[in-house]
Amino acid sequence: MAVLALCAALSLALGARSIPPSTVVDALFGDAHGRDAIVVRGLRLPRTVIGLAVGAALGVAGAVAQGITRNPLASPTTLGINAGAGFAVVVAIYAFGLTRPIEYVWFAFAGAAAATLFALALARRAGDIDPVRLALGGTVLQLVLLSWTSAVMLASQRTLDEARFWLAGSLSERSLHVLYPVLPTLGVGLLLAFAVTPALNTLALGDDSAQALGVPVARIRLAGAVAVALLAGSAVAVAGPIAFIGLAAPHLVRPILGGDHRFLVPGCLLAGPILLLSADVLGRVVIRPSELEVGIVSAFLGAPLLALLARKVAR
């Protein structure tokens, strides 16, 4: 919790121009009205709050995705959810001429939900959801949707110009009005994720063992997939497709809290925002006065992590 508070404080204080901590405190709790106070209250505070919500959603979604698939490399990205949201937004920009993030929200969420349903349909076998087929189907779906997204963007220069910033994944230029519409789905996703958390430990023993212990495997896996869709869809709708946060958060928490999902999932609720806000702050200061989108920073840092994880799993 202290690390998360530190990351939030840095997010409020650092940017194209650093603001002293005393000024940040006065802007939040006092009656400061200068330029720095306007920046803190009007730009950095909404950005930090959105980072906390999106990071928590991605962290928990990653933990649940790895639990229901029994695959340590599973995440909302590998299940095709991010790609589904991105494709829906690009099509909406192409067809309806959308220009603002708040206009993308429901299209992104609808695309994420459709991608999840399609991945579940691909994974069904004999009335059950096969975790291996779920991961493979999501990966195939992701590749197909990414190619379709590229095709639509190349067909229209206007669509390319509008979509490429959102597709990079960013917390900048986001107001809390973008977050408000997805708060209900975000809350339901968190409740559902914590509801299935105890059963994920039994699911890790294998489907046969879980069924022998009385766990309704198919329903738990379906509920977990719905939770991942709600959480990842909400996050992508607000901030765009941000990779590796959902993958990295569980692996950051496991060495500290162990593999028990009753502790792992709450740990990811904190680790996700820590990773996301850290990447966002790094993107702001590394090329001052410009900045790198958080999606680019997380991908740059996450690619080596993915290679190390893949090598560890192979061993």
pTM (predicted TM-score): 0.89
Residue 3 forms part of a structural domain? no
* Span 123-157, pLDDT tens digits: 777 556 677 777 788 888 888 999 999 899 888 88
Confidence of residue 309 (pLDDT cuts 50, 70, 90): low
Instruction: For CA atoms 72, 73, 79, 83, give the dihedral sign.
Output: positive
> Does a structural domain hold residue 35?
no
The DSSP bridge partners found for residue 127 are none
Evaluate whether residue 25 is within a structural domain. Answer: no
CATH code at 284? 1.10.3470.10
114 is written with which tokens? 């459709």
Which among 110, 103, 101, 89 is positioned nearest to 153, based on CA atoms? 89
Q: What is the mean pLDDT of residues 308-313?
A: 65
CA angle 86, 136, 238 (to 5 degrees): 25
Report the C-alpha gap between 91 and 84 in whole angstroms. Answer: 11
Q: Could you tell me which residue, 48 or 73, shows the higher pLDDT? A: 48
pLDDT above 90 coverage of the chain, percent: 23
* Domain of residue 176, residue span: 52-314
Per-residue pLDDT at 315 exceeds 70: no
Q: What is the pLDDT of residue 314?
A: 54
| Residue 289 to residue 299: CA distance in whole angstroms | 21
Number of domains in the chain: 1
Domain-embedded: residue 19: no
Mean local confidence (pLDDT), 170-196 = 90
* 36 belongs to a structural domain: no
